[in-house]
A and B are shown apart, each in its own frame.
Chain A
Amino acid sequence: DIQMTQSPSAMSASVGDRVTITCRASQGISNYLAWFQQKPGKVPKRLIYASSSLQSGVPSRFSGSGSGTEFTLTISSLQPEDFATYYCLQHNSYPPTFGQGTKLEIK
């Protein structure tokens, strides 16, 4: 199975900050990478698919990049509603595997 390692596992930041979360795959996955946001008690929400394509309705402050084994999710200017846990998901080969999550908290 392909292992997905996110970093950091947790971080604190302030409203207005630029934030980057990294996801590394244990082997190349082309661009078969999605990012999800999950708030406590809520359903995961897909933000990014195909590494860099923005899901319809998602604010443009979210962006994704990368290919192969290293990927990033960037939030250009943190808003109060962005404090949540973020997961990457690879689907280059089965089984699809999620990263362990990055919890983004308010500083």
Chain B
Amino acid sequence: QVQLVESGGGVVQPGGSLRLSCAASGFTFSSYGMHWVRQAPGKGLEWVAFIRYDGSNKYYADSVKGRFTISRDNSKNTLYLQMNSLRAEDTAVYYCAKDPTLYCSSTSCSPGGYWGQGTLVTVSS
């Protein structure tokens, strides 16, 4: 069965960096695009970033563009989110989510039915 397990969250000071990981299993990781979605405490869902199945294309929300970098290692079945220049408003639970479409490469790719349990990032001094 599909499993997505995030790790790497924690408390970081404003301006600091953190790298999140998402370990995938139960499917052919190298065949599916992957997303990061976040949710600030008590707030709604916000899509953060997407990476194509082969890592050749990446897309970001304007709110994180230039500060966050999505990447993947298909040999390790792992998705990453490198977060730099963190701000208080980046405080959220971060979820990784699998795209449901095999080899999705268009701008209609989206999070599907499989999400990780989330990892909490708190940006505070």
* CB–CB B45/A36 < 8 A: yes
Query: B95 — nearest CB in chain A belongs to which residue?
Result: A43
In whole angstroms, how far apart are the Cα atoms of A93 and B47 in the complex? 13
Which of chain B's residues 27-58 have a Cβ closer than 8 Å to chain A?
Answer: 37, 44-47, 50
The count of chain B contact residues (Cβ–Cβ below 8 Å) is: 23
> Which of B44, B50, B60, B108 meets A87, CB within 8 Å?
B44
* CB–CB A43/B115 < 8 A: yes
Q: Is B61 an interface residue (CB 8 A)?
A: yes
* CB–CB A87/B110 < 8 A: no
* CB–CB B110/A43 < 8 A: no
Q: A residues within 8 A CB of B50?
A: 94, 96
Q: Is B24 an interface residue (CB 8 A)?
A: no
* CB–CB A89/B59 < 8 A: no
Given contacts A43-B117, A98-B46, A100-B44, contact A34 B107 (CB under 8 A): no
Interface size class of A (residues with CB under 8 A): 20 to 34
Indicate with 1 or 0, residue by residue over B103-125, a CB within 8 angstroms of chain A CB atoms: 00001111111011110000000
Q: Is B14 an interface residue (CB 8 A)?
A: no
Contact residues of A with B, CB < 8 Å? 1, 32, 34, 36, 38, 43-46, 49, 55-56, 87, 89, 91-101
Closest 9 CB pairs of A and B: A91-B110, A46-B113, A98-B45, A94-B107, A96-B47, A101-B44, A43-B115, A96-B110, A94-B59
27 examples of A-B residue contacts, CB within 8 angstroms: A38-B45, A43-B95, A43-B115, A43-B116, A43-B118, A44-B115, A46-B113, A49-B100, A49-B112, A49-B113, A87-B44, A87-B45, A89-B47, A89-B111, A91-B108, A91-B109, A92-B108, A93-B108, A94-B50, A94-B107, A95-B47, A95-B60, A96-B110, A98-B45, A98-B46, A98-B47, A101-B44
